[in-house]
Amino acid sequence: MQETQQNPGNVSASTAITPTVNRTYKSRIFEMIFSDKKELLQLYNAMNGTNYDNPELLEINTLENAIYMSMHNDISFVIASQLYLYEHQSTYSPNLPLRCLLYISDLYSALTMDANFYGTKLIKIPTPEFVVFYNGTDEIADRQTIKLSDAFMIEKEDYSLELTATVLNINPGHSSAVLDACKTLKDYSEYSARVRRYAKTMDLEAAVELAITECIREDILAEFLRKNRAEAKSVSIYEYNEEKHMKFVREEGREEGLAAGRKEGFAARDELILRMKQSGLPLEEISKISGMSVEEINALSADTN
């Protein structure tokens, strides 16, 4: 089935941002795979229940200079008057809607750079949709919706600004309908899972090499891995190390937060004990209330003098 792409209102197809071959950024495996229009169209069809068969209907307009991303793991494209942002994440973040907002603002700015914002004619723009493909280690539902309004400081029934993003869990055993409809996405999920699994028991470089060798042999991302073996290996090692680092930072931050909380809790407890003592409450009663011994209470008083 072939369908012609609709022109999204006043926005000319020529105004879109077209990625160049010689990129100045480093792509992640997800973007390396799905920057191919044929593969991206297969993923789009799987997500939307469509059966487009002409990859040229897709107009990829991924931003190359998104300064808030160290490596590209996103793909944006227009098809049938709709603008899609597909992003891959191995670390779940509730800030995804805010990132999507910043990204789509830049895209719309580029798409409408020649438009007359002060004219009387309505500027039509492609309808946006945001999807995050998640394959991290945290357990999340197969599909969930997160909203920009979750970050707003004041809750209201109606917001002047809203953005929703769909988070799809693509780990093996999840979101089977989409994975079964898109072999490449399913293969990517399996490849990533093998790298993570093998890296638990062997050197990371050896784990990636084993995953690549097995996947080529078993026809899992075979064509992509054959053509891009060296780069795929390098990027996979980088991605795994980054994921491990992010997890370490999160755990370290959590531990620091707990330590700070304990410190604040002890300080508040000590202040309360001193107040009880100053008010003339017997030490035995203070001991029962606080769980501290009389000796510890006296020592606390001595430390503060």
Q: Which spans in 69-117 are helix H?
A: 96-111
Q: Are 104 and 157 in a shared domain?
A: yes
Enclosing domain of residue 88: 1-181
Q: Are 34 and 169 in a shared domain?
A: yes
Q: Are 220 and 238 in a shared domain?
A: no
Q: Is 234 helix (H, G, I), strand (E, B) or coil?
A: helix
Q: Which of 181, 210, 243 is the last residue of a domain?
A: 181
pTM: 0.72
Question: 69 vs 26, 65, 301, CA distance in Å?
Answer: 10, 9, 53
Q: Are 142 and 254 in a shared domain?
A: no
Number of separate domains in the chain: 3
Q: Which of 181, 213, 242 is the last residue of a domain?
A: 181
Q: Are 40 and 52 in a shared domain?
A: yes
Which residues does 10 contact at the CB level (< 8 Å), separation at least 6? 112, 115, 121, 122, 123, 124
Q: Is 301 helix (H, G, I), strand (E, B) or coil?
A: helix
| Element at 133 (helix H, strand E) | strand 127-134
User: What are the backbone angles phi and psi of residue 27, rounded to the nearest 5°?
Assistant: -85, 150
Q: Are 21 and 141 in a shared domain?
A: yes
Q: Are 138 and 243 in a shared domain?
A: no
Q: Are 212 and 249 in a shared domain?
A: no
Q: Give 78's pLDDT tier (boundaries 50, 70, 90).
A: very high
Res. 226: pLDDT tops 60: yes
Separation of alpha carbons 199 and 203, rounded Å: 6
Q: Are 294 and 211 in a shared domain?
A: no
Q: Is 93 helix (H, G, I), strand (E, B) or coil?
A: coil
Q: Give 73's pLDDT tier (boundaries 50, 70, 90).
A: low
Q: Are 26 and 146 in a shared domain?
A: yes
Q: Are 29 and 159 in a shared domain?
A: yes
pLDDT digit string (tens) for 177-223? Answer: 999 999 999 999 999 999 999 999 998 899 999 999 999 999 999 99
Q: Are 30 and 146 in a shared domain?
A: yes
